[in-house]
Amino acid sequence: MDATTPDAVPPPGCPAHADARIPLYGPDFAADPHAYYDYARSYGPSAPVELAPGVDASLVTDYATALRLLQDNGTFRKDARRWKAFNDGLIPADSPVVPLLAYRPNAMFSDGAEHLRLRQAITDAMARIDTARLARSTEQISDYLISQFGSRGSADLMADYAKQLPLFVFNELFG
């Protein structure tokens, strides 16, 4: 067992390993992420994690806590340009998490008036969706995908259905 397996991580609250973080990367994590997330939940509403080598974070594991954080715009900002560790040079610019977490001018990474302006554009666009038509289209797409593997008698539901359905539906929405 190596240090990247959940069993090798010290138990929650262990004073001898206060800085131990759960690694959310690497081949062991990729092979069984559920084991890592289950272990993270044992910490309570948040757990100390490492997103990539040297990139520390807290993983929120509880819905109520996540909701409180997402609604507290004064304390928990979305604008990644305020990412202190990155700005202080503690996160390498070529870290694999930078493209995922770096600032982008969209509603997800903006705060305040800019966030409201961008969110309103999304809200307005989504309000124009004919949900009855979307339901019919989704059903037709589902039927089509099932017809592609139905005659085989077996399917990889993730590859043959679950991963494809959202792509087809978004294509229907956005053309």
**Mind listing the pLDDT tens digit for each residue in 14-55?**
545 556 899 999 999 999 999 999 999 999 999 999 999 989
Q: What is the mean pLDDT of residues 88-110?
A: 91
Tell which wins on pLDDT, 11 or 57.
57
How far is Cα 67 from Cα 63, in angstroms, rounded to an integer?
6
- Categorise residue 54: left if φ over 0, alpha if ψ from -120 to 50, beta otherwise: left
Residue with tokens 């690497």: 26
pLDDT, one tens digit per residue, over 125-146 is: 999 999 999 999 999 999 999 9
Residue with tokens 């062991």: 28
Confidence of residue 153 (pLDDT cuts 50, 70, 90): confident
Between 131-150 and 164-174, two packed helices, what is the crossing angle to 10 degrees? Answer: 140
Q: Say if residue 10's pLDDT is above 60.
A: no
**3 state SS of 6:** helix
Question: Is residue 39 a contact partner of residue 22, using CB atoms and an 8 Å limit?
Answer: yes
pLDDT of residue 142: 98
Percent of the chain residues past pLDDT 70, beyond the cut = 89
pLDDT of residue 78: 87
- Beta strand pairing call for 46-52 and 22-23: parallel
Give the chain's mean pLDDT: 89
Q: Which two tokens stand for residue 125?
A: 């666009």
- Enclosing H/E stretch for 145: helix 131-150
pLDDT of residue 169: 97
Q: What is the mean pLDDT of residues 86-115?
A: 91
pLDDT of residue 1: 38
- Enclosing H/E stretch for 56: strand 55-60
pLDDT of residue 93: 87
